[in-house]
Amino acid sequence: MNIQPRPEAENEPVPYVYVHAPFCARRCVYCDFAVDVSRQGDLPGWLGALEGELALVEGKGQISLASSLKTLYVGGGTPSILGPESMVGLGKVLGVHRLTEPDLEWTAEANPESFTLHVAKAWRRAGVNRVSLGVQSFQEGPLSWMGRLHGAEGGRGAVSRARAAGFRNLSVDLIFGLPPSVNRDWRYDLERALALEVPHLSLYGLTVEPRTPFGQAVEAGRELPVDDARYGDEFLLACERLSSAGYIQYELSNFALAGFESRHNQACWALRPYLGLGNAAHSFRHPLRKWNLRDWAEYQTAVREGKDPTEGWEKLDGESMRLEAIWLGLRARWGVALQSLSSQGLALVEEWEEQGWAELLPGAIRMTPTGWLLLDRLAVDLASVEEEARPSP
């Protein structure tokens, strides 16, 4: 996939949409996402706010939705907590006529405990054709530590219900890098995930976020984060094991069998124009990126009063776009085009290849799993070299 934005991207209707559903029955110990703790969520309030925001966006001519969407991604939070009618209602808000493209990828996230067979069947009838399940682990101890509400068999049961409802395109999320006190068997979780034979797996390393219970426990010395060596070992084990099972690591955290890569995420990484609806949602159309109010109540109030819920925005100039494309390319399997780099940048990535951190492809450089572990530092190094090589105005 070409990561450079198309020249016509500034004016074309947007075919990629992200919708945020903020509701969660419980906040996980590590979670710093924009969530609103609620046992059942607020389906009427959510749909009403989305409808109001879409009217504001279209009324001001900020972004026009395409007549036929290519991807629709409903994330959170826990969209499944909104129940079986949630996706039918969302389809009406967006316009059912926009959801008729035969090749539409419509993803919705779900947690095992709220993804009942009733929800699964209703979502499938509404047009959802891809489900991403927040499993995180198949072991009681780690799940309890995280604050997850499903048990060790919850992930397997959710996958079974999804298949019974007719879903073939399934993704499972797992988290690695848990602190030593949790006593988690990472290899066991990988094998359990592989046994489910789902075509997509997303693996996320635990991070210490200051505002979370986990972050506060680390700061107070009551908890230790995983050490870098163990974090790296678990990441490399996953890369090796999933690769041997036929999965393609098409992005730093994402593995898929051929043909099951997330098309929505790839569009965003490729800097295609997308619309984000809901609190904390981001939108992008070259050269502008904007994001909504993070707090659900503030966002809902603003929309109800007919006010723009945008919290902030930035305008990306040509050099910023180039550097962002490089950063995103380093995360992705397609890599960075060599022709987009300066001579100094080319010299640096050749050093990476010598270190085993990257591999040269025809016309591009791609990170290896070992290089991905060092991505933050390497990306900063490359950005610094490219900025220094930029001609003075």
Tell me what the pLDDT averaged over the chain comes to. Answer: 93
CATH number at residue 235: 3.80.30.20
pLDDT (mean) for 109-118? 98
pLDDT of residue 123: 98
pLDDT band at 369 (very low <50, low <70, confident <90, very high): very high
- pLDDT tens, position by position, 46-105: 999 999 999 999 887 777 899 999 999 999 999 999 999 999 999 999 999 999 999 999
Regarding whether 335 and 264 lie in a shared domain, the answer is no
Whether residue 308 is contained in a domain is answered as no
pLDDT of residue 5: 43
For residues 237 and 174, give the distance between their C-alpha atoms in angstroms, rounded to a whole number.
14
% of residues, the chain, pLDDT over 90: 85
With a CB cutoff of 8 Å and minimum separation 6, the contacts of 324 are: 271, 316
Is the pLDDT at 225 greater than 90, yes or no?
A: no
pLDDT of residue 393: 64
Give exposure, 163-181, as e/b (b: 16+ Cβ within 10 Å).
bebebebbbbbbbbbbbee
Domain that holds residue 80: 8-269
Regarding whether 14 and 86 lie in a shared domain, the answer is yes
Regarding whether 330 and 259 lie in a shared domain, the answer is no
Whether residue 84 is contained in a domain is answered as yes
Determine the length of the chain.
393
Regarding whether 326 and 195 lie in a shared domain, the answer is no
Regarding whether 380 and 265 lie in a shared domain, the answer is no
Whether residue 131 is contained in a domain is answered as yes
Regarding whether 14 and 117 lie in a shared domain, the answer is yes
310 within 8 A of 296, measured Cβ to Cβ? no
pLDDT band at 320 (very low <50, low <70, confident <90, very high): confident
Whether residue 306 is contained in a domain is answered as no
Regarding whether 337 and 225 lie in a shared domain, the answer is no
CA distances from 167 to 12, 73, 130, 133, 263 (A): 32, 16, 7, 12, 17
pLDDT band at 11 (very low <50, low <70, confident <90, very high): low
Structural domain count, the chain: 2
Regarding whether 234 and 109 lie in a shared domain, the answer is yes
Whether residue 85 is contained in a domain is answered as yes
Provide the whole-model pTM.
0.95
Whether residue 188 is contained in a domain is answered as yes
Regarding whether 161 and 37 lie in a shared domain, the answer is yes
pLDDT of residue 321: 87
Regarding whether 233 and 330 lie in a shared domain, the answer is no
CA distances from 362 to 163, 270, 334, 337 (A): 40, 19, 11, 9
pLDDT band at 6 (very low <50, low <70, confident <90, very high): very low
9 within 8 A of 261, measured Cβ to Cβ? no
Is the pLDDT at 28 greater than 60, yes or no?
A: yes
Sole residue written with tokens 């929800």: 119
CATH number at residue 326: 1.10.10
Whether residue 49 is contained in a domain is answered as yes
pLDDT band at 3 (very low <50, low <70, confident <90, very high): very low
Closest CA to 245 of 257, 235, 227: 257
Regarding whether 38 and 172 lie in a shared domain, the answer is yes
Regarding whether 160 and 77 lie in a shared domain, the answer is yes
Whether residue 280 is contained in a domain is answered as no
